[in-house]
Amino acid sequence: MNSSDERIIDAHVAVGREHHLSLDENELLKRLDEGGIDLAIARPMGAELAVLNRRGNDRVLSLGPRVRGLVSANPWFGDEASDELKRCRDRGAVALYLHPTRQGFMPTDPIAQPLVVFATEQNWPVVIHTGTYIQSDVLALAELARRFPQTTFVADTAGFTDMWFELPGVLEEVPNVMLCASLVWGRAILNTVNAGRADRILFGSGEPRDRIGAALARIDRLELSPEHRRMVLWDNARRVFKLQ
Protein backbone atom coordinates (compact mmCIF):
# COMPACT_ATOMS: atom_id res chain seq x y z
CA MET A 1 0.00 0.00 0.00
CA ASN A 2 1.05 3.56 -0.56
CA SER A 3 2.76 4.83 2.59
CA SER A 4 2.03 8.51 1.89
CA ASP A 5 -1.36 10.15 2.12
CA GLU A 6 -1.67 9.93 -1.65
CA ARG A 7 -3.75 7.07 -2.99
CA ILE A 8 -3.15 5.58 -6.41
CA ILE A 9 -5.15 3.33 -8.71
CA ASP A 10 -3.20 1.74 -11.55
CA ALA A 11 -5.84 1.44 -14.25
CA HIS A 12 -3.86 -0.81 -16.56
CA VAL A 13 -1.79 -3.84 -15.70
CA ALA A 14 -1.78 -7.14 -17.58
CA VAL A 15 -1.18 -10.57 -16.07
CA GLY A 16 -0.18 -13.84 -17.67
CA ARG A 17 2.22 -14.30 -20.57
CA GLU A 18 2.47 -12.76 -24.03
CA HIS A 19 5.57 -13.10 -26.16
CA HIS A 20 8.36 -11.52 -24.11
CA LEU A 21 6.02 -10.19 -21.44
CA SER A 22 5.23 -12.06 -18.26
CA LEU A 23 3.66 -11.11 -14.96
CA ASP A 24 2.25 -13.45 -12.31
CA GLU A 25 0.24 -12.74 -9.19
CA ASN A 26 3.13 -12.63 -6.76
CA GLU A 27 5.27 -10.41 -8.93
CA LEU A 28 2.35 -8.07 -9.57
CA LEU A 29 1.67 -7.65 -5.85
CA LYS A 30 5.38 -7.08 -5.23
CA ARG A 31 5.51 -4.38 -7.90
CA LEU A 32 2.36 -2.73 -6.55
CA ASP A 33 3.96 -2.60 -3.11
CA GLU A 34 7.20 -1.18 -4.46
CA GLY A 35 5.33 1.44 -6.50
CA GLY A 36 2.99 2.49 -3.71
CA ILE A 37 -0.10 1.47 -5.68
CA ASP A 38 -3.24 0.94 -3.63
CA LEU A 39 -5.46 -0.70 -6.25
CA ALA A 40 -4.90 -2.05 -9.74
CA ILE A 41 -7.18 -2.95 -12.63
CA ALA A 42 -5.85 -6.09 -14.33
CA ARG A 43 -6.60 -7.64 -17.71
CA PRO A 44 -5.53 -10.93 -19.28
CA MET A 45 -2.94 -11.06 -22.05
CA GLY A 46 -1.59 -13.43 -24.68
CA ALA A 47 -3.54 -16.60 -25.42
CA GLU A 48 -5.73 -15.92 -22.40
CA LEU A 49 -6.85 -12.70 -24.04
CA ALA A 50 -7.19 -13.97 -27.59
CA VAL A 51 -8.75 -17.42 -27.15
CA LEU A 52 -8.55 -18.89 -23.65
CA ASN A 53 -10.77 -16.23 -22.15
CA ARG A 54 -12.15 -18.20 -19.23
CA ARG A 55 -8.67 -19.06 -18.02
CA GLY A 56 -7.50 -15.45 -18.35
CA ASN A 57 -10.58 -14.06 -16.67
CA ASP A 58 -10.27 -16.49 -13.77
CA ARG A 59 -6.68 -15.38 -13.39
CA VAL A 60 -7.54 -11.68 -13.07
CA LEU A 61 -10.60 -12.35 -10.93
CA SER A 62 -8.65 -14.37 -8.39
CA LEU A 63 -5.98 -11.79 -7.57
CA GLY A 64 -7.67 -10.61 -4.40
CA PRO A 65 -9.40 -7.42 -3.29
CA ARG A 66 -6.49 -5.18 -4.21
CA VAL A 67 -6.69 -6.12 -7.90
CA ARG A 68 -9.97 -5.80 -9.79
CA GLY A 69 -10.83 -7.77 -12.89
CA LEU A 70 -10.92 -6.15 -16.29
CA VAL A 71 -12.33 -9.14 -18.11
CA SER A 72 -12.48 -10.00 -21.77
CA ALA A 73 -14.17 -12.30 -24.22
CA ASN A 74 -13.34 -12.66 -27.87
CA PRO A 75 -16.45 -11.53 -29.80
CA TRP A 76 -15.90 -14.30 -32.36
CA PHE A 77 -17.09 -16.79 -29.73
CA GLY A 78 -20.58 -15.33 -30.11
CA ASP A 79 -23.04 -16.49 -27.44
CA GLU A 80 -20.23 -18.18 -25.54
CA ALA A 81 -18.54 -14.79 -25.19
CA SER A 82 -21.68 -13.26 -23.75
CA ASP A 83 -22.07 -16.19 -21.35
CA GLU A 84 -18.47 -15.76 -20.24
CA LEU A 85 -19.10 -12.11 -19.40
CA LYS A 86 -22.15 -13.07 -17.34
CA ARG A 87 -20.03 -15.54 -15.41
CA CYS A 88 -17.41 -12.84 -14.81
CA ARG A 89 -20.05 -10.37 -13.64
CA ASP A 90 -21.12 -12.84 -10.99
CA ARG A 91 -17.49 -13.15 -9.87
CA GLY A 92 -17.04 -9.39 -9.42
CA ALA A 93 -15.63 -8.08 -12.70
CA VAL A 94 -15.60 -4.27 -12.98
CA ALA A 95 -15.25 -3.65 -16.72
CA LEU A 96 -14.99 -5.12 -20.21
CA TYR A 97 -11.65 -5.14 -22.02
CA LEU A 98 -11.40 -5.57 -25.77
CA HIS A 99 -8.23 -5.79 -27.84
CA PRO A 100 -9.41 -5.54 -31.46
CA THR A 101 -5.95 -6.36 -32.83
CA ARG A 102 -5.32 -9.46 -30.72
CA GLN A 103 -8.93 -10.59 -30.98
CA GLY A 104 -9.33 -9.85 -34.68
CA PHE A 105 -12.23 -7.46 -35.24
CA MET A 106 -12.98 -3.78 -35.79
CA PRO A 107 -14.63 -2.04 -32.81
CA THR A 108 -17.55 -1.06 -35.03
CA ASP A 109 -18.09 -4.61 -36.34
CA PRO A 110 -21.52 -6.06 -35.53
CA ILE A 111 -19.98 -9.08 -33.79
CA ALA A 112 -18.66 -6.82 -31.02
CA GLN A 113 -21.99 -5.18 -30.38
CA PRO A 114 -23.54 -7.81 -28.03
CA LEU A 115 -20.58 -7.52 -25.69
CA VAL A 116 -20.81 -3.74 -25.59
CA VAL A 117 -24.55 -3.97 -25.01
CA PHE A 118 -23.91 -6.34 -22.11
CA ALA A 119 -21.32 -3.97 -20.62
CA THR A 120 -23.77 -1.11 -20.97
CA GLU A 121 -26.47 -3.09 -19.18
CA GLN A 122 -24.06 -3.75 -16.30
CA ASN A 123 -23.04 -0.09 -16.19
CA TRP A 124 -19.48 -1.18 -16.91
CA PRO A 125 -16.93 0.96 -18.75
CA VAL A 126 -15.47 -0.56 -21.91
CA VAL A 127 -11.69 -0.38 -22.18
CA ILE A 128 -10.35 -0.81 -25.71
CA HIS A 129 -6.75 -1.10 -26.83
CA THR A 130 -5.86 1.72 -29.20
CA GLY A 131 -2.83 2.62 -31.26
CA THR A 132 -2.20 -0.37 -33.49
CA TYR A 133 -3.11 0.50 -37.04
CA ILE A 134 -6.31 -0.82 -38.63
CA GLN A 135 -8.26 -2.61 -35.87
CA SER A 136 -7.20 -0.50 -32.92
CA ASP A 137 -7.97 2.82 -34.54
CA VAL A 138 -8.79 5.58 -32.04
CA LEU A 139 -11.48 6.88 -34.37
CA ALA A 140 -13.15 3.47 -34.53
CA LEU A 141 -13.42 3.57 -30.74
CA ALA A 142 -14.90 7.06 -31.06
CA GLU A 143 -17.54 5.79 -33.48
CA LEU A 144 -18.50 3.05 -31.07
CA ALA A 145 -18.69 5.58 -28.24
CA ARG A 146 -21.04 7.71 -30.30
CA ARG A 147 -23.37 4.72 -30.70
CA PHE A 148 -23.40 4.10 -26.92
CA PRO A 149 -23.40 7.60 -25.41
CA GLN A 150 -24.39 6.35 -21.96
CA THR A 151 -21.32 4.09 -21.72
CA THR A 152 -17.82 5.22 -20.80
CA PHE A 153 -15.13 4.09 -23.25
CA VAL A 154 -11.47 4.15 -22.27
CA ALA A 155 -8.84 4.47 -25.01
CA ASP A 156 -6.22 2.18 -23.54
CA THR A 157 -2.59 3.26 -24.14
CA ALA A 158 -4.00 6.53 -25.52
CA GLY A 159 -3.28 5.63 -29.13
CA PHE A 160 0.39 4.97 -28.43
CA THR A 161 2.24 5.86 -30.46
CA ASP A 162 1.24 7.94 -33.47
CA MET A 163 -2.50 7.47 -33.25
CA TRP A 164 -2.25 9.72 -30.19
CA PHE A 165 -2.70 12.62 -32.60
CA GLU A 166 -6.35 11.67 -33.05
CA LEU A 167 -7.18 11.68 -29.36
CA PRO A 168 -7.39 15.40 -28.52
CA GLY A 169 -10.09 15.81 -31.16
CA VAL A 170 -11.92 12.72 -29.96
CA LEU A 171 -11.89 13.96 -26.36
CA GLU A 172 -13.30 17.25 -27.55
CA GLU A 173 -16.04 15.74 -29.69
CA VAL A 174 -17.07 12.60 -27.80
CA PRO A 175 -17.78 13.22 -24.11
CA ASN A 176 -17.94 9.58 -23.07
CA VAL A 177 -14.35 8.79 -24.12
CA MET A 178 -11.50 8.79 -21.63
CA LEU A 179 -7.86 7.89 -22.05
CA CYS A 180 -5.63 5.60 -20.07
CA ALA A 181 -2.21 7.19 -19.95
CA SER A 182 -0.16 4.00 -19.89
CA LEU A 183 2.76 4.12 -22.36
CA VAL A 184 2.00 7.58 -23.77
CA TRP A 185 4.48 10.43 -23.24
CA GLY A 186 4.13 13.12 -20.61
CA ARG A 187 3.42 16.08 -22.84
CA ALA A 188 0.34 14.35 -24.23
CA ILE A 189 -1.04 13.96 -20.70
CA LEU A 190 -0.15 17.53 -19.77
CA ASN A 191 -1.77 18.95 -22.90
CA THR A 192 -4.95 17.07 -22.02
CA VAL A 193 -4.92 18.51 -18.50
CA ASN A 194 -4.25 21.99 -19.84
CA ALA A 195 -7.18 21.62 -22.23
CA GLY A 196 -9.40 21.33 -19.15
CA ARG A 197 -9.80 17.57 -19.37
CA ALA A 198 -8.04 16.28 -16.27
CA ASP A 199 -11.26 14.41 -15.48
CA ARG A 200 -10.78 12.31 -18.64
CA ILE A 201 -7.39 10.78 -17.77
CA LEU A 202 -6.66 7.53 -15.95
CA PHE A 203 -3.21 6.71 -14.67
CA GLY A 204 -2.00 3.34 -15.89
CA SER A 205 1.43 1.80 -15.65
CA GLY A 206 1.17 -0.64 -18.55
CA GLU A 207 2.94 -3.29 -16.47
CA PRO A 208 4.67 -5.51 -17.41
CA ARG A 209 5.58 -3.80 -20.70
CA ASP A 210 6.32 -0.57 -18.88
CA ARG A 211 7.23 -0.20 -15.22
CA ILE A 212 5.25 1.44 -12.44
CA GLY A 213 8.28 3.51 -11.44
CA ALA A 214 8.73 4.89 -14.94
CA ALA A 215 5.01 5.60 -15.31
CA LEU A 216 4.84 7.45 -11.99
CA ALA A 217 7.96 9.43 -12.87
CA ARG A 218 6.12 10.60 -16.01
CA ILE A 219 3.30 11.90 -13.83
CA ASP A 220 5.70 13.51 -11.33
CA ARG A 221 7.43 15.47 -14.10
CA LEU A 222 4.13 17.09 -15.08
CA GLU A 223 4.02 18.98 -11.76
CA LEU A 224 0.24 18.84 -11.74
CA SER A 225 -1.77 20.77 -9.19
CA PRO A 226 -2.76 18.62 -6.20
CA GLU A 227 -6.35 18.56 -7.46
CA HIS A 228 -5.44 17.41 -10.98
CA ARG A 229 -2.95 14.89 -9.67
CA ARG A 230 -5.57 13.36 -7.41
CA MET A 231 -8.02 13.17 -10.31
CA VAL A 232 -5.52 11.39 -12.56
CA LEU A 233 -4.15 9.02 -9.93
CA TRP A 234 -7.30 8.19 -7.99
CA ASP A 235 -10.61 10.00 -8.43
CA ASN A 236 -11.20 9.32 -12.11
CA ALA A 237 -10.51 5.60 -11.91
CA ARG A 238 -12.57 5.28 -8.76
CA ARG A 239 -15.49 6.94 -10.54
CA VAL A 240 -15.16 5.07 -13.85
CA PHE A 241 -14.70 1.60 -12.33
CA LYS A 242 -17.17 2.37 -9.50
CA LEU A 243 -14.74 1.32 -6.80
CA GLN A 244 -15.72 1.69 -3.15
Partner 1 sequence: MIIDFHAHLDDRWFDQPLMSREQFIAAMDRCGVDAACVFTLMGFFEDSRRHNDLLAGRAAALPERLIPFITVDPKLGEASIDELRRCIALGVFRGIKLHPWLQAFAPSMLKKTIVRIAEIAAEKDLPILFHDGTPPYATTFQIGAVARWVPAAKIVLGHAGLADYTLAAAQLARDIPNLYACVCGPRPADIAHIVATAGAEKVLFGSDLGLSDWMILADRLDAVRYAGISDEQTRMVLGGNARRLLRLL
Pick the closer one to partner 1 by CB: 69 or 208: 208
**Which amino acid is it at 6?**
E
| Other beta carbons less than 10 A from residue 200's beta carbon | 23
Q: For residue 6, what is the enclosing H or E element?
A: none
Minimum Å gap between C-beta 97 and partner 1 is 18
Q: Smallest gap, in angstroms, from Cβ of residue 75 to partner 1?
A: 21
Rg (CA), the chain: 16
Q: Which is nearer to partner 1, 81 or 188 (by Cβ)?
A: 188
Beta-ladder partners of 71: 96
The footprint of partner 1 (CB under 8 A) covers 19-21, 101, 131-133, 157, 160-162, 183, 185-187, 190, 206, 208-211, 213-214, 217-218, 221-222
Could you tell me the CA-to-CA distances from 37 to 25, 72, 100, 117, 145 in Å, in that order?
15, 23, 28, 32, 30
CB of residue 34 to partner 1, shortest distance in Å: 12
Minimum CB separation of residue 41 from partner 1 in Å reads: 18
CB of 135 to partner 1, least distance (A): 11
Bridge partners of residue 126, in order along the sequence: 96, 153
Report the residue number, 113 or 132, with the smaller CB distance to partner 1. 132
Nearer to partner 1, 8 or 81 (CB): 8
**Between 26 and 150, whose beta carbon lies closer to partner 1?**
26
Q: Distance (Å, rounded) from C-alpha 69 to C-alpha 239?
A: 16
d(CA 174, CA 63): 34
Are 159 and 122 contacting, i.e. CB atoms less than 8 angstroms apart? Answer: no
